[in-house]
């Protein structure tokens, strides 16, 4: 845990000091210090002020004096700050050796948090009637990054993608194909998912607006979908799986991978709802309405002023939530698994096995449930997710067994919308798949890649086209992924192509460029960096700041995993790049006429490079050696 080692040493010694003072039950903090407060800082003095009836400053001095009598390896000295904080200064020669040595290990940044318990992360879950748009990308990248972070935190993670292949939006494209004459093959050069979303879905829903009598056709198609033997259901299976195949290609291109794909149609036909409905009635979690506007319905009571939620209508049909409840219970392993599993027909590019559910008994039995479930769904579904979360908590008797990880939407800046062919009258573009007002993830990636190829070719005319293509791919994917996770999840993102590609500021290319700089230094040195160095030579302020930032990697991983916050690792990656660039601008590494100092600094550069690579890997970002 590197820098965590000095935090642990300080905490242990402070606890010993408190014991000697006959003080117990003080929950103090020990944290990496802000500038001007040493290397480690604690708020312990403030928590003791009332009990000891002294000022925090005096208490800090008392503790500092007592601390000096304890055995310490990584702390050089303690000091009482005038503000009352108790500060500690590191023995950097020893801490340098600890951090730089551990940073070269494959396990660097790994934290023992999950104890190998299984956790389910469900994300993507885009209706299989259209291509993924830039708004969907935020869901996909949040889910994938959280999965990567949890694995680094010692969890076994099952990543699921739920396919709503029996819902209203699927019915709409089937109406287009079967009643409005749309060809089942797209025009030449157009992906099938783009064709279904841009043409069939949008134009079909427009026809509903023009003629309300068409709603009856829609209802009949939706009803036929429930009968797996119907021609409608068979066509739906062909169409949705073809769209899904294209959607997965987009996800894989963004370095997003899954463990299992679950189909809603199979959940409906599996009988899971019948089992969970009986359990709901038995536990009195649903009630039957005898009168009022919901007469004849089974409902879940709303909290406070919230309206009751209908689960089963008076005609006996289940509502949307009735599909989600059994699925949530299945994910938590609360029901016997009715599914068999077979391998998805296409291989994922990273060679990770991808399974899909089936009701065909020729499949195998697998287990994709977990002791905890995280469902990544946008904040507009908060009410529904709150109900499911409460129900699952009661079923499992664990309050946080089922977690809804919500996030806000993605808009496009007016300039980016204009570049991509949307007229928004100079305003940000709010997307709507039904109205056709959206920009596909594929088109954003293509435009990012095109601009990156132009810039890379200009900077490096000597590089062959295949390498430029690979560099451009890494930067384009990195840019898209970073823009989706660098902000808090409860903030709306306004995506801007030009700003996101900048080599300055809080962008993926800025971070990736620092990696390329480090690669160039190591390449120029023409020697292999070694850990066998004089660590005392690394004493410059920019060197120590970089080493300290490297040492904070594990702490960032723990924080991100505990708070389910990909932003923490994004911010850490940026901070690490900033620290390196400051070092790069102020400290010469090669040609300084001192071989020992050069070797020490090369060791530091290599440590930075390997740590940033690990950090970016948690974000699903690859850093090229040249940019």
Which is more confidently placed, 586 or 36? 586
Task: Say what the pLDDT of residue 396 is.
Answer: 84
pLDDT confidence band for 429 (50 / 70 / 90): low
State the average pLDDT over residues 371-395.
93
CATH architecture classification, 118-270+332-411? 3-Layer(aba) Sandwich (3.40)
Say if residue 333's pLDDT is above 60. yes
Say if residue 101's pLDDT is above 90. yes
Do 217 and 174 meet the contact criterion of CB atoms below 8 Å apart?
A: no
Which is more confidently placed, 561 or 422? 561
Distance, in Å, from the CA atom of 587 to the CA atom of 602, rounded to the nearest integer, reads 12
Say if residue 129's pLDDT is above 90. yes
Q: How many CA atoms lie within 13 A of 24 on its CB side?
A: 1
- Which pair of structure tokens corresponds to residue 34? 């802000």
Say if residue 437's pLDDT is above 70. no
Do 161 and 125 meet the contact criterion of CB atoms below 8 Å apart?
A: yes
State the average pLDDT over residues 239-252.
98
Tell me: the pLDDT tens digits for 130-158? Answer: 999 988 999 999 999 999 999 999 999 99
Say if residue 501's pLDDT is above 60. yes
- Burial-class residue 499 by CB neighbours within 10 Å (0-12, 13-18, 19+): middle
Task: Say what the pLDDT of residue 553 is.
Answer: 98
- Which pair of structure tokens corresponds to residue 166? 């029996």
Task: Say what the pLDDT of residue 436 is.
Answer: 57
Q: How far is CA 607 from the centre of its chain?
A: 25
pLDDT confidence band for 251 (50 / 70 / 90): very high
DSSP class of residue 199 equals: I
Task: Say what the pLDDT of residue 70 is.
Answer: 87
What mean pLDDT, rounded, does the chain reach?
93
Q: Where do we find the tokens 């200009």?
A: 458
Torsion sign over Cα 295, 301, 307, 309: negative
For the residues of 340-374, what is the DSSP string, one character each? EEEE-SS--TT----EEEES-TTSB------SEEE
* 60-98 core/surface letters (b: 16 or more CB in 10 A; e: else): bbbbbebbeebebebbeebebbeebbbbbebbbebbbbb
Domain 118-270+332-411 in the same topology as domain 3-90: no
Q: How many CB atoms lie within 10 A of CB 47?
A: 17
Say if residue 1's pLDDT is above 60. no
- Which pair of structure tokens corresponds to residue 245? 């195949």
pLDDT confidence band for 322 (50 / 70 / 90): confident
State the average pLDDT over residues 568-591.
97
State the average pLDDT over residues 83-105.
96
Torsion sign over Cα 225, 230, 236, 237: positive
Task: Say what the pLDDT of residue 431 is.
Answer: 63
Phi, psi of 133 (to 5 degrees): -105, 175
**Rounded to 5 degrees, what angle do the CA atoms 213, 218, 223 make?**
130
Say if residue 197's pLDDT is above 80. yes
Task: Say what the pLDDT of residue 430 is.
Answer: 67
pLDDT confidence band for 500 (50 / 70 / 90): confident
State the average pLDDT over residues 341-361.
97
* Domain extent listing, the chain: 3-90, 118-270+332-411, 271-331
- CATH number of the structural domain 3-90: 3.30.1360.70
Q: How many CA atoms lie within 13 A of 150 on its CB side?
A: 24
Q: How many CB atoms lie within 10 A of CB 450?
A: 11
pLDDT confidence band for 302 (50 / 70 / 90): confident
pLDDT confidence band for 505 (50 / 70 / 90): confident
In the chain, % of residues over pLDDT 70: 98
State the average pLDDT over residues 202-224.
88
Shortest CA distance to 403 belongs to which of 322, 303, 332, 481? 332
pLDDT confidence band for 457 (50 / 70 / 90): very high
State the average pLDDT over residues 503-528.
94
Say if residue 421's pLDDT is above 80. no
């Amino acid at each position: 845990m590197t820098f965590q080692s000095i935090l642990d040493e300080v905490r242990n010694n402070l606890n010993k000091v408190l014991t000697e003072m006959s003080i117990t039950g003080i929950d103090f903090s020990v944290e990496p210090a802000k500038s001007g407060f040493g290397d480690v800082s604690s708020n312990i003095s403030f928590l003791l002020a009332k009990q000891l009836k002294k000022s925090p400053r005096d208490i800090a001095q008392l503790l500092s004096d007592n601390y000096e009598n304890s055995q310490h390896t990584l702390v050089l000295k303690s000091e009482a700050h005038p503000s009352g904080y108790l500060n500690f200064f590191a023995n950097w020669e020893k801490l340098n050796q600890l951090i730089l040595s551990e940073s070269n290990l494959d396990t660097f940044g790994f934290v023992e948090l999950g104890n190998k318990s299984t956790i389910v992360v469900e994300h993507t879950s885009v209706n299989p009637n259209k291509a993924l748009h830039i708004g969907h990308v935020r869901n996909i990248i949040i889910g994938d990054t959280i999965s990567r972070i949890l694995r680094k935190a010692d969890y076994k993670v099952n990543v699921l993608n739920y396919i709503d292949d029996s819902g209203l939006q699927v019915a709409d494209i089937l109406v287009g194909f079967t009643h409005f004459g749309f060809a089942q093959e797209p025009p030449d050069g157009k992906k099938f998912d783009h064709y279904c979303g841009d043409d069939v879905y949008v134009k079909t829903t427009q026809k509903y607006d023009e003629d309300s009598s068409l709603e009856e056709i829609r209802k009949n198609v939706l009803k036929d979908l429930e009968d797996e033997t119907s021609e409608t259901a068979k066509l739906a299976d062909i169409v949705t799986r073809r769209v899904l195949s294209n959607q997965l290609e987009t996800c894989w291109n963004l370095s997003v991978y899954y463990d299992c794909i679950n189909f809603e149609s199979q959940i409906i036909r599996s009988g899971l709802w019948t089992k969970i409905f009986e359990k709901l009635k038995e536990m009195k979690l649903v009630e039957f309405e005898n009168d009022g506007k919901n007469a004849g319905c089974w409902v879940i009571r709303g909290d406070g002023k919230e309206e009751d939620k209908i689960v089963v209508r008076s005609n006996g049909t289940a509502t949307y939530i009735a599909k989600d409840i059994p699925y949530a219970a299945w994910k938590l392993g609360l029901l016997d698994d009715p599914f068999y599993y077979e391998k998805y027909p296409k291989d994922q590019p990273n060679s990770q096995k991808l399974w899909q559910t089936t009701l065909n008994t020729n499949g195998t039995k697998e287990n994709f449930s977990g002791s905890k479930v995280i469902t990544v769904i946008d904040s507009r579904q908060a009410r529904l997710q709150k109900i499911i979360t409460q129900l699952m908590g009661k079923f499992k008797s664990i309050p946080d067994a089922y977690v809804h990880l919500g996030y806000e939407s993605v808009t496009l800046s007016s300039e980016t919308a204009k570049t991509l062919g949307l007229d928004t009258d100079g305003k940000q573009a709010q997307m709507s798949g039904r109205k056709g007002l959206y920009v596909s993830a594929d088109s954003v990636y293509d435009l990012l890649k095109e601009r990156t190829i132009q810039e890379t070719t200009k900077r490096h005319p000597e590089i062959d086209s295949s390498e430029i293509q690979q560099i451009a791919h890494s930067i384009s994917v990195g840019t898209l992924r970073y823009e989706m996770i660098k902000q808090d999840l409860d903030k709306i993102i306004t995506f801007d192509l030009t700003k996101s590609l900048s080599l300055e500021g809080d962008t993926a290319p800025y971070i990736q460029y620092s990696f390329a700089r480090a690669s160039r230094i190591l390449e120029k040195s023409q020697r292999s960096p070694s850990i066998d160095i004089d660590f005392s030579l690394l004493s410059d302020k920019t060197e120590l700041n970089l080493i300290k930032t490297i040492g904070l990697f594990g702490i960032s991983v723990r924080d991100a995993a505990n708070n389910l916050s990909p932003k923490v690792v994004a911010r850490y990656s940026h901070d690490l790049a900033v620290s390196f660039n400051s070092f790069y601008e102020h400290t010469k590494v090669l040609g300084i006429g001192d071989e020992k100092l050069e070797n020490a600094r090369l060791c530091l550069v290599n440590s930075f490079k390997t740590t940033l690579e690990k950090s970016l890997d948690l974000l699903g970002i690859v850093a090229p050696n040249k940019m």
